[in-house]
Amino acid sequence: MATILIIDDEPQELALLRDMLAADGYRFEMATGQHDARRLVETHGKTIRAILLDWILEGLDPVELMHWIKNHPQLTDVEVVVQSTEFVPEDIRAGLANGAYFYLTKPFDPDQLRAIVRAAVAACDLKRSLTKRITACEDTVRLLESGTFRFRTPQQAEILAVHLGSATGEPQRGVGLLELMINAIEHGNLGITYDEKGELRRQGNFRQEVSRRLALPEYRDRWATVEVAQRGGEIEIEIRDTGEGFDFERYLQLDHERLFHAHGRGVLLATAALDLEYLPPGNRVRVRMPVAPGGELLTRTALNPKPA
C-alpha cells in the first residue's frame, strides 16, 4: 500500500486531504512541521511514494525542506506535490529548482487533487521500477559502437530505456530516456494531443486508448527509432518518431497553466536528467550521455529487431 506523507500545520487541512484521498486506498502519515516530517521520513521513508507539502508553514523554510527531501537516500524517487493558497513566481522557481513538479491551489478541487496525487505516485513507482531494473541489468549497450533500434509500444520503450540507462551507470538517465520515448509513441506515432491526453486521463481511459490506437491499421506499422553511436567515452542517442513534430520550446519550460495539470511534465523531467537537444520540427531529439567504464567496443554493430 502506498504511503502519502502530508505536511501541513492546519489539522483541518490534514483531515481534509486525508478524507479526499481515502477512496484511493492510500496509507497516510501526517506531519505538522519540519521536525515531524523528518521523524516520519526516518521511520517510514521506504514506503512513502508521494509527499504533499504546504509551501507556507510557520517556522518552516520550504526550500530547505525540499532540498533535504531530494537528497535523502530513501526519497530520491518520491514526488512532492506543493500546495498553497497562492503561488508567486519566485516560489514556483524555487520549487522547480528543488525537484517539485506538481502543484495544487487551495481550496482543492477533489478530482484535480486525486488525479495529481495518482500521477505523482505513478511517477515514483515508474522511477523505482526502472532504477531497480537498470541496476540489475547485464549491460551490453556500452559495448556497442553504433546501432539502430526501433520500438512501437511502451513495453518495448521500457526495455530500451533499461539497457540504455545501464550503459551510463546512472538510472535517472534511463528514466529521462523513457519519458522521451513514451512521448514519441503517444504524441508522435499515435497523434494523441496534449488536451486529448488530459481528458483521457480524467476519464481513466488513457492506457486503453493507447492500446486501441496501436492496434489500428493506420498506426500499427508506425515505428519510432533510436540511433546509438558511441565515441570518445560518450553515447549519442537520437530518438525519432513518425509524427509531424510539436512546439518543443513551449514544453522545455513548465508554464503556469500546466503546473496544475496531472500530465505534461515528460519533456521537463527528461531535460532535468539529460543533456538533450530537440531538432526541428520536433519529431527528433538528440541526447548525449557519458558511458560507464568497462568493456570493449563491438565494431560496426547494427541491431534491428523484427516487429513482434
Q: What is the CATH number of the domain that holds 178?
A: 3.30.565.10
Quick one: pLDDT at residue 236?
94
Where does the pLDDT of residue 140 fall: very low under 50, low under 70, confident under 90, or very high at 90 and above? confident
List the one residue out of 168, 125, 160, 150 whose CA is nearest residue 273: 168
From residue 194, alpha-carbon distances to 48, 98, 162, 261, 283 in Å are 29, 25, 26, 11, 15
Grid cell digits, residue 271: 531535460
Looking at the fold, whether 91 and 225 belong to one and the same domain comes out as: no
**What is the tens place of the pLDDT at every residue in 57-81?**
877 788 888 888 888 988 989 999 9
Q: Is residue 174 part of a domain?
A: yes
pLDDT tier at 301, thresholds 50, 70, 90: very low
Shared domain for 157 and 114, answered yes or no, is no
Task: Quick: pLDDT tens for 123-138.
Answer: 899 889 988 888 887 6
User: In this structure, is residue 161 part of a structural domain?
Assistant: yes
* DSSP letter string, 221-266: T--EEEEEEEETTEEEEEEE-SS----HHHHSS--TTGGGSSS--H
* Cα–Cα distance for residue pair 183/177, rounded to 1 Å: 10
Q: Are residues 145 and 247 in the same domain?
A: yes
| Total of domains in the chain | 2
162 and 109 together in one domain: no
pLDDT of 256 strictly over 70: no
Shared domain check, 116 and 46: yes
Q: Are residues 123 and 167 in the same domain?
A: no
pLDDT digits (tens, 9 = 90+) for 272-283: 778 999 999 999
Same domain (yes/no): 158, 104: no
State the CATH number of the domain containing residue 19. Answer: 3.40.50.2300
Residue 307 resides in a domain: no
The Cα 37–Cα 9 span in angstroms is 11
Output the average pLDDT for the chain: 85
Residue range(s) defining the domain that contains residue 123: 3-128
pLDDT of amino acid 45: 84
**Coil, strand or helix at 13:** helix
The Cα–Cα gap between 308 and 137 comes to 22
Q: Are residues 142 and 124 in the same domain?
A: no
